[in-house]
Amino acid sequence: MMKFARWMDSVSIWLGKIAAFLVILTVAIGFYNVVARYLGRFVGVKLTTNMLIELQWYLFSLTFLFGFPYILKIGENVRVDFLYANWSMKRKAWVNLIGHLFLLIFCVIGIWVTYYPVLQSWGLLPDGTFGTWEVSPDPDGLPRAPIKTMMPIGFALLFLQGLAEIFKNIARIRGEEIPFEGK
């Protein structure tokens, strides 16, 4: 169990680094979009497209989907600290274990409710065959299937980090010295 937890922790750290890079990339594209829109109006030439605007919100979405497992791993998720801070390690582990079990249920529901819409976005037809991908209705827009696919993947990554946290809390309850990260 702890081997999996350590592996998933390293994956989540890597995802956190990707999320941090995506923030910078999102801001850069947003900055370009604003400057290009106003400069384009000034010179009378269109310098930006809907593709860049949609790319910006795709990257913004990926920042959260990759960032959530990292936030859970480092312990920066929301909790009621005025109670939690004074509890023993074992009591914290029990509360975290129960909370993470609810998180796993939430992730399973998230995967379940996004699975079929993602398949439809990839072009799944009622007869079970595949047609064309869902694309943005805006001119020069991006295909929607790849970003929609990231929703169940994001839930799966969060599920795996939640499972790693459950394993760590079980070890804490058993008396192993595993420090809490974050708060």
Nearest-angstrom CA–CA distance, 73 and 173: 18
Who contacts 59 (Cβ-Cβ below 8 Å, separation ≥6)?
A: 22, 25, 26, 29
**Domain span including residue 123:** 2-173
135: β partners: 143
pLDDT (0 to 100) of residue 183: 52
Who contacts 62 (Cβ-Cβ below 8 Å, separation ≥6)?
A: 19, 22, 147, 150
Report if residue 182 sits inside a domain.
no
Contact (Cβ atoms closer than 8 angstroms) between residue 171 and residue 2: yes
Average pLDDT, the chain: 92
Report if residue 38 sits inside a domain.
yes
Residue 144 has pLDDT above 80, yes or no: yes
Q: pTM here?
A: 0.88
Query: Of how many residues is the chain composed?
Result: 183
Report if residue 179 sits inside a domain.
no
Phi, psi dihedral angles at 143 (to 5 degrees):
-65, 145
65 pLDDT band, cuts 50/70/90, is very high
- Per the structure, the count of domains in the chain is 1
Report if residue 183 sits inside a domain.
no
Q: What are the pLDDT digits (tens) for 162-182? A: 999 999 999 999 988 887 775
Report if residue 72 sits inside a domain.
yes
How large a percentage of the chain has pLDDT more than 70? 98
Report if residue 149 sits inside a domain.
yes
Report if residue 178 sits inside a domain.
no
Tokens of 110: 């998230």
Q: What are the pLDDT digits (tens) for 78-120? A: 766 777 778 888 998 999 999 999 999 999 999 999 999 999 9
